[in-house]
Amino acid sequence: MNAIVSASELVDELAGAHPPVLLDVRWQLSTAKAAGAPPFDGRAEYAAGHLPGAVYVDLDRELASAPGARGRHPLPDVEEFGAAMRRAGVSRGRPVVVYDGGQGWAAARAWWLLRWTGHPNVRVLDGGLPAWEAPLSTGVPTPAEGDFAPEPGAPGLLDADGAAALARSGVLFDARAGERYRGEVEPIDPVGGHIPGAVSAPTAGNVAPDGRFLPAEELRARFKALGATEDRAVGVYCGSGVSGAHEVLALAVAGIPAALYVGSWSEWSSDPARPVAVGPDPQ
């Protein structure tokens, strides 16, 4: 099954006999609050216009638990996540399509969580809202309660020790911007740098200028050049398990299974006992 769907394909599916559930997960990482500016408001963006029938999902409240020692976006409570998905109309037997404002990070986080908790058919709208050319809606739907019961445990989750081990035994990608990987700047977390052994692979390299994913063969070539060969296990981390999900999605488009370290750098760097590497060299 494809991990992504084009806008034109989605238009056809929504007009069909078995349309997918639509989830709007508009969110963006912002440091505006520290500068005194209002933070990004995904719910307000949703209210101003969304795909017809889409239900808004709050990444910070429904796709993560409270920030703390496990990072800025730790895994949500499974029961609360399941309840949020059922309120949005998610059922195990009905396909789900997730989108965001175009960056793809937040939609990928929802995609990863649904897949990890056992949903068999969830995709991301390639290019997000900017790729949608049909009319938008300002109406708020009231979907029938879904029956999705999350069953976590599917392969693909790493903790801090697992990420450190994978950096030695396989390949661990750091999906953040290169300057954060190298430790030149760190606008959010306690210290800059990367997990020793991790390879820099910024998410910006996964997409074309219009925000759509590169073709699968180009993504395969990119990740192969970075060390993702068939005989090596692959993992990804980022700042807090959001942009890293986008990299896992890109790897899925390329046909490469990968695990996600959800705690990511925000968890790793909170413990001064964990080693930190700086500079362009993985080690």
Residues designated catalytic? 238
Residues near 41 by beta carbon (within 8 Å), at least 6 away in sequence: none
Tokens at residue 76, please?
């949500």
Give the rounded distance of the alpha carbon of 234 from its chain centre: 16
Give the rounded distance of the alpha carbon of 60 from its chain centre: 13
Tokens at residue 156, please?
């693909």
CA-nearest of 258, 190, 182 to 220 is 258
What distance in Å separates the CA atoms of residue 173 and residue 80, rounded to the nearest whole number?
A: 30
CA-nearest of 104, 91, 19 to 53 is 19
170-196: b (≥16 Cβ within 10 Å) or e:
bbbbbbbbeebbbbeebebbeebbbbb
DSSP 55-68: EE--HHHHSS---B
Question: Could you tell me whether strands 259-261 and 157-158 are parallel, antiparallel, or unpaired per DSSP bridges?
Answer: parallel
CA-nearest of 5, 25, 30, 50 to 212 is 5
Number of residues in the chain? 283
Contacts of residues 220-226 at CB distance under 8 Å and 24 or more positions apart, as own/partner, are 220/254, 220/255, 220/256, 222/254, 223/173, 223/250, 223/251, 223/254, 223/256, 226/171, 226/173, 226/199, 226/201
